[in-house]
Amino acid sequence: MDGEATRIARPRPDGAGTRLADIATQAGVSEATVSRVLNGKPGVSAATRQSVLTALDLMGYERPQRLRQRSNGLIGLVTPELDNPIFPAFAQAIEKALTQHGYTPVLCTQLPGGAPEDEFTELLTDRGVSGIVFVSGLHADTTARMDRYTRLTDRGLPIVLLDGYTDQIDAPFISPDDRLAAQLGVQHLVDLGHERIGLAVGPGRFVPVIRKIEGYRRAMAQLLGVTEVDELISHSLFSVEGGQAAAVRLLERGCTGIVCASDLMALGAIRACRDRGLSVPGDVSVVGFDDSPLIAFTDPPLTTVRKPIGAMAAAAVETLLEGVNGTPGRHVELVFQPELVVRRSTGSGPLVNR
C-alpha cells in the first residue's frame, strides 16, 4: 500500500484526552513525527503526513487551522483480508483516486476472527464519513441480509458496492463481466484442443461464482456441445489451498484444462498437478482470474483473465462522489469487460496432440 490510508483502531477505553501518544499509535508513527506534522515542520513524507492527519480525523480531534483545508472529507473503504493481492490492488487504486479528488480514504480490512463488516460500518458512520465503498462484501453473498446496506441508503449515505450484485439495494454496483470471464477461459482452452475442461470456483452462494458458472455452462454447450457439466464444476475456497483441493477433484475426473475463479486458486491447481507428477502446461493447462500483481512472474507465468481494476476503481470513486455531491444514487450496475492474458500455463490439449 502507498500509505495514504489508515486502518481503524478502536478508541482507547480509558477516556484519555488528546495526547500525542494516542495520535502516534493510531497513525503508526512516533510522537516526534506527530509533533512535526501538527507544527508544520519539514522532514515528513507526504504519506506519513496524511496518516497523521487521518488519525486526527478518526479520533475526532480538530485539525490545526493551517491544516484543515487539505481534505474534503473521509471516505470509508471496506475490503476483505489483504492476503489475496487483488484486494490491495483495488484498495490502492481507489485510495489514489479518492486522494486526487481531495478526500481522505479510511481503509478497513476484515481479518479472520477480526471485526465484521457491520462493525466497521458502524465505526465509519460514527466518524462521519461522507460515503463508503464496499469491495467483495456481504452484498455478494446471496444468503446474507441486505438491510445492513439499505439502512445506510435510507439515511442518505452514499455507498458503492464492488464485485457482487443484488436488486435489494438501491445503490450503484461495479462489477467485472464474470460470465464473459469464464467464457474467455473456456474458449482459450478449446482453441488449444482441450475438451475435458473443469471449473474451479468458490462457494456457490456468491454472485460472482454463480455468474462464472453460467458463463462456463454456456461456453461448454456452445463450443463443445457439452451440457452435463456438474461433475466438472468443483467448489472450494478462494485460496491456494482451495484451488488445490478443487483441482484434485477435477484431475480425478480426467480434466486436461482447468479454469479457476482466482489467481490464487490457479496457483493451487498448479500445485495439485505437480503433486500428481503432471506438468503445466505439458499435461494440464490452467487459467486464472484477476491478473493480480506479480502473477506474471509465477512458475510458469500464469495465463489469466484480467479484471479491469483501474477502470472499476475509477468508476467506483466517480459514482460515489456524485452521491456525495448531491446526485441521488441510482440502482444501476456498471459491468466492465475482462481481458484474456495468455502466458505459459496453457498449452496444446489432447485434440491437438493426436
Number of helices and strands in the chain (H, E): 12, 13
Structural element, H or E, at residue 46: helix 46-58
pLDDT of residue 352: 54
pTM score of the predicted model: 0.80
- Secondary structure of residue 311 in the 3-state scheme: helix
**8 A C-beta contact, residue 235 and residue 227:** no
**8 A C-beta contact, residue 158 and residue 125:** no
pLDDT of residue 115: 66
pLDDT of residue 113: 64
pLDDT of residue 313: 97
**8 A C-beta contact, residue 177 and residue 336:** yes
183-196: burial string, b at 16+ Cβ within 10 Å, e else: bbbbbbbbebbbbb
Tell how strand 339-341 and strand 303-306 pair up: antiparallel
pLDDT of residue 196: 97
pLDDT of residue 13: 39
Query: Phi/psi at 22 (nearest 5 deg)?
Result: -65, -45
Looking only at Cα atoms, what is the longest distance across the chain?
77
Structure-block grid coordinates of residue 271: 500445485
Q: For residues 131 and 154, what is the distance between their CA atoms, to the nearest angstrom?
A: 13
What letter does residue 314 receive in the DSSP assignment?
Answer: H
Structure-block grid coordinates of residue 338: 475482462
Query: HSE of 309 in the Cβ direction (CA atoms, 13 Å)?
Result: 20
Helices 207-224 & 178-191, crossing angle to 10 degrees? Answer: 30
Closest CA to 27 of 1, 49, 2, 11: 49
Per-residue pLDDT of the chain (354 residues; tens, 9 = 90+): 344 444 444 444 343 335 788 888 888 899 889 888 888 888 888 788 888 888 887 777 777 766 655 568 899 999 998 889 999 999 999 998 998 888 999 999 987 665 689 999 999 999 899 999 999 999 999 999 999 999 999 999 999 999 999 999 999 999 999 999 999 999 999 999 999 999 999 999 999 999 999 999 999 999 999 999 999 999 999 999 999 999 999 999 999 999 999 999 999 999 999 999 999 999 999 999 999 988 999 999 999 999 999 999 999 999 999 999 988 778 899 999 999 999 999 999 885 544
pLDDT of residue 11: 41
**8 A C-beta contact, residue 79 and residue 107:** yes
pLDDT of residue 52: 87
Query: Phi/psi at 161 (nearest 5 deg)?
Result: -120, 125
Query: Phi/psi at 104 (nearest 5 deg)?
Result: -100, 115
Closest CA to 49 of 3, 10, 11: 3
